[in-house]
Structures are given as C-alpha cells and as structure tokens.
Amino acid sequence: MNFGRFGKIASVSLIGAMLLAGCSGNGQTVMKIGDTNITEGAVNFFANYGMGTEDVDTAVDNLKQEYLLKEVAKAMDITLTDDEAKQVKSTISNFKAQQGGKKAGDKLLKKYGVDDDIMETIISASTYSQKIMDQLDVAEPTDDEVKQYFVDNYLRAKHILISTKDMTTGADLDEDKLAEAEKKANEILERAKNGEDFDALIKEYNEDPGMESNQDGYFFTDGEMVSEFEDATKSIEPGEITMCKSDYGYHIIKRLPIDESDSKFSEYLENNKSAVQSAVTSKKQEEALEKKAEELGIKVEVNQDKIDKMVIQPKDTPEPTAEAK
C-alpha cells in the first residue's frame, strides 16, 4: 500500500487498527494503551502485513508507539490543519481505490469493523508525531550518543554460506544435493571450530557473493539480516563460531568484536552515520513520548507473559476472527 507522504507510520498504523477493530472481543489481550485493547491477533496481523517481521517484540513495540501517538495527541489538544485533514481524507480515498474502488474499499473496512473516523485518527499518526515532537523539543543526538548506540546495538560477523539453492536458477536443490550441502557445512564448521583460518575457509567454500565486498565482516543491527543469522550471531560471543540454517542455506558464522579502535568501525560508522543518527533520534523520541504519556496519565499495560509465549503465525495461514469471516 502506498499512503503518500504519510509513509511508514501511516500504513502500518492503519493496518494495525483495521485488525484491532475486526478482532474486538476475540483473542487474548496482550497490551492496553489508554482505553484501547490490543490483541494477539492484532500483533500477528501487524507483524505480517504492516512490518514484515517475525519478531514478536518488534511488532509489539512498534504497535505500542502507534497508539501512544494517538492518545498523547488527544490529551495535548493537538489538531490538524485544514490542509492536513484534507490530505488524510485523500489518503483514505486512495486506499479504497487501491482495493478496487470505493465499494470494494468500504466492503473491506466493514469486514474489519473499521469506519472512516477510525482511519482518519490512525492515518494522522505520523503528522501528530511531528507536532508532538515539536512541542517536546527532543534534542538532536550528539556524536558520543551516536557512537554509543552503534556499540550497543550493532553486531559484526563473517560467514561461510553453503547454499541450498541452485546458484543459477535460484531453485531449491534436490534431496541428494541438500544432503551433500548439509554434510559439507558440518565439515567446514568442525574445521573452523578446530582452529583453521576462517578467512581461508571463506575463500575456499563461501557462496555468498556479498562477502567479497565485506571482507572485514558485515555490520548489522536488528532486522537487517534474516532472523536465523541474527539470532545465531547473538547467541555467541565475539571470536566464537556457530552455524544456522536459513532459506538461503547453511551459515557458518564467526562473530567479530565491535572495536572502536578498529579503523573499520570508524569507516562503517561514518558511511552509515545518517542511519545510526536516525535510529538514535527515534529512540529519544520514543522515550520522550512515553515520558509525556506517563505525565498525562495515559496508562500502558503490557502482558509480557503472554507476549513471551507468542509466535508470529505464518502469513499464508491466518486464522480469521468470527467478525472477519
């Protein structure tokens, strides 16, 4: 979906709101923002269609911020200009057009129990966010804050990929070749753990062309690598080696330290400073928003026990609620 200049916040908020309305009274409540209950079903839908993430905590945290924006804006008497209000209505019309026209769009909204008033409130989230932040006057991140965020939130790793895909067609290998790939990966893992030169093993066996331009390892943060790779890297300490399997194949991973004295640290940070600064700014804004919500008496109740037990259901096997059938 393309929601124009309202961007990511508008689109994911709308999707989350649509499911939330459709799931009212169904599923377990995992979070409550002000007077709004957010269900497990809402988080699942939001994760699959709003964010494209398999991480429950990421989906929950983002959904929480969306609804906090709405509640804080209302409590601060922040409103939209006439032009902004018109843009919201235009966004709703465009959304319906993308569903096949007004009739089809209205039918979809009805399916989830959503009306235009709810859509207007949620689509306005990104605009309200800017207005709220202007009043809260959140300071720009300092260089030290950016560097510390990088140290605290980024990982660095090299890997040897043994692909389970045909390198020409991209199709899955047949059973015999898959067995060969698994055997080969286990043998390389054993050699690496026994102390063989990891770079030499990369040169000999690696099937990830990206490593050629990242010979000093990949720097990455949450959500930038496939979840199996990210989780496996987090599970070991710098200098240790492990293996995981993803849709791409077998990854023999060596985690590397994030060392401020390393020239590659400074080089990567300088080349990606804008992205890291944006992440720090977002973090500071989230903290300011949550502090303001607390000052305004907006309650946030999170059932972490239920969230910890959640698993994001596959996108292609949703379980519709009674209202959505």
As a whole number of angstroms, the longest Cα–Cα distance in the chain is: 68
pLDDT at position 67, please?
A: 83
Q: Burial letters for 146-169: b for 16+ Cβ neighbours within 10 Å, e otherwise?
A: bbebbeeebbbbbbbbbbbeeeee
Q: pLDDT (tens digit, 9 = 90+) per residue, 164-214?
A: 999 888 899 999 999 999 999 999 999 999 999 999 999 999 999 999 989
Residue of higher predicted confidence among 230 and 19: 230
Lowest mean pLDDT among 5-14, 47-56, 106-115, 263-272: 5-14
Give the gyration radius of the chain's Cα atoms: 23
Identify whether the C-beta of residue 145 lies closer than 8 Å to the C-beta of residue 281.
no
18 pLDDT above the threshold of 80: no
Query: What value does the mean pLDDT take over residues 24-31?
Result: 63
Question: pTM here?
Answer: 0.69
Across the range 144-153, mean pLDDT stands at: 94
pLDDT digit string (tens) for 185-197?
999 999 999 999 9
- Contact predicate 146/280, CB 8 Å: yes
CA-wise closest residue to 132 among 124, 143, 140, 141: 124
CATH code for 155-257? Answer: 3.10.50.40
pLDDT single digits (tens) 64-75:
888 889 899 999
What is 11-75 written as a DSSP string?
HHHHHHHHHHHHTTT-S-EEEEETTEEEEHHHHHHIIIIII----HHHHHHHHHHHHHHHHHHHH
DSSP string, 222-256: TTSS-HHHHHHHHTS-TT-EEEEEETTEEEEEEEE
Task: Note the pLDDT of residue 320.
Answer: 39
Phi-psi region of 239 (alpha: psi -120 to 50; beta: other; left: phi over 0): left
**Predicted confidence (pLDDT) at residue 48 exceeds the cutoff of 80:** no
The per-residue pLDDT of the chain, averaged, comes to: 82
Alpha-carbon gap, residue 188 to 184, rounded angstroms: 6
- In this prediction, residue 325 carries a pLDDT of 40
Q: What is the mean pLDDT of residues 258-279?
A: 90
Domain ranges (residues) in the chain: 4-140+276-309, 155-257
